[in-house]
A and B are shown apart, each in its own frame.
Chain A
Amino acid sequence: MDRRDFLSLGGAALAAFLAACDSEGPRAAKGALEFASRTNQDVEEALFRHLTMDHVKRGGRLAGDALPRYYVSPSVPVWDPSIRGAWKLEVGGAVANPLTLDMKDLRGLPSVTHRVNHYCVEGWTALTEWTGVRVSLLAKLAGARPDAKFVDFQSFDSGYHESWDLASALHPQTLICYAYGGALLTPGRGAPARLHSPVKLGYKSVKYLTRIVFLPHQNGGYWTDRGYEWFAGT
């Protein structure tokens, strides 16, 4: 192959590459990307350790009000008791005794207040302080069955939900939170209660919670169905 051959071949390859591109790159690469994505999920699950904790920097400054407010509805989702009745959190699915907790029940459970990082998929982090109940405690109270391998967290924010692998959901730093920075959640922060954990990227931490469903199968999620990675562990 002389130089001219090489150049023309290279040019043809480049043209073919560009022609096969949509905005996300060459379509032919889709299979390879999906394979890599599946492999990465296996690697992420293998790396996951139940007792590996997120640590925050000593003396770090809490993000406080600088933590962005975020929801997918056109306006802040607010639970209006006059329309929907009193807010309740259902814990169901593959469990022995389904629970229905109102805010009083939830706040009556043993709680955790901790400072952890919030890792956003966009690349920023925030030092945050949350108060809430461990998902692992709710799983124990509801008696999650052995066939429960995934947990789907559902909300009243226009159908926003995300399903998690059980191990990450039962991580000690995965909380159903009702307070942020020492004050009860405001509607902008996911009131009345939201999920938060440093072991997954922010979009997996569902706000405006209504139901926690233990499942034998994965159930995708709002961003997952739109092309973001499902596992999204940190």
Chain B
Amino acid sequence: MTDDTYPAGSTTGSPGAAAPARATGPREHDGATDAEASPRARHHWVVRLTHWVNVLALAVMVASGLRIFNAYPAFAPRGGTFCCYPLAGHPIPAWLTFGGWLAGARHWHFAAMWLLVANGLLYLGFLYLHGEWRDLAPRRGDPRDAWEMVQFYLFARREHPRQGKHNALQKLAYLSLLVLAVAAVTSGIAIWKPVQLGWLTRLLGGYVWARYWHFLAMFGLVALGLVHVFMVLSVDPYSIPAMITGRYRSDRSPEHRNARPFYNLFGGGRTEGAEVVHADAAHGARDRASPEPAGTESVAAEPEPDAPQATRDAPYEETAE
């Protein structure tokens, strides 16, 4: 099974894993001694800066965009129809909009777009130059890891799956945000210049469809953004100071606390007893009974020396300031 290439157990990176309760062998990159649980560098200042600038730019773009949308809250061309927007004719509630009137909102929209794009390019440049795209790049084991996270969140699994900097669902969400942002900017340019850049507009199916993609991309960004905020508040509020100061106490990581939304928000959820039972008995039994290939259970697998896990395992140390 190719899955063995990326044993889930190799996805460490959370130094909290060094807790002695982990009976099944030491994890690599333990880094900080957990007795002290000293905060460690987690987010480079470029990431922190672009994160908060993005919050501002996206908020202005979305709210002013909705005000522009309200000038014609529909997609059908005049004298035509549109298949796929059930709310045609219903404006967005004014309190969700920004810019006051159509012209005002357009000025904000076409100013904040530069901030959004410049900020996005700075972030993407940093991701590339600093190698941190590896934290977001999809990998073969991701669907399985994501399924494990889903099971964990649905209480179908007791232990938080091991993870790198992000868990697999987070990776999926953050990567989707990037893709949606690129889609939003591309479709936005297509409806900004439907004649001079008409090739792009036509590529997206014409003006009406480009405007629809722009709307859907916005909707996706907002939806994922709301999920992100919900998860931050209900699972990992400690990541808020981390996104400001850059430092993160790894013994407060969701993995270490075994945290689900609103569960183990303040304390470590793992008990030594449960850990041992899980590791020794339940895990072994499951390996035999489960059709899953060996190695999917996180604590069991030995990392293969040649597997490219170096990238995956990299703890967040390069960027320590």
A residues adjacent to B (C-beta < 8 A): 3, 6, 22-25, 32-33, 36-37, 39-40, 44, 47-49, 52-55, 57, 60-68, 117-127, 198-199, 223, 226-229, 233-234
Contact = CB atoms under 8 A, between A and B. Distances in A.
Q: Please classify how large the interface on chain B is, using the bins under 10, 10 to 19, 20 to 34, 35 or more.
A: 35 or more
Contacts of B77: 63, 124-127
B284 interface: no
B269 to A, nearest CB: 23
Contacts of A52: 195-196, 198
A67 B78 contact: yes
Interface string B94-125: 00001111111011101100100000000000
Given A125-B78, A126-B78, A120 B72 contact: yes
Interface stretch (B34-42, B175-183, B202-210, B297-305): B202-210
Contacts, number: 122
A121 B195 contact: no
Contacts of B110: 36-37, 40, 229
B121 to A, nearest CB: 16
- Interface SS, A side: loop
Given A25-B108, A47-B193, A63 B100 contact: no
Contact of B78 (A66, A121, A234): A66
13 contacts: A25-B98, A25-B100, A48-B196, A53-B195, A57-B206, A61-B80, A124-B72, A124-B74, A124-B76, A126-B77, A227-B107, A228-B103, A233-B193
B108 A68 contact: no
B244 interface: yes
B71 A234 contact: no
Contacts of B102: 121-122, 228
B79 A123 contact: no
Given A47-B196, A124-B74, A124-B78, A119 B207 contact: yes
B307 interface: no
A123 B100 contact: no
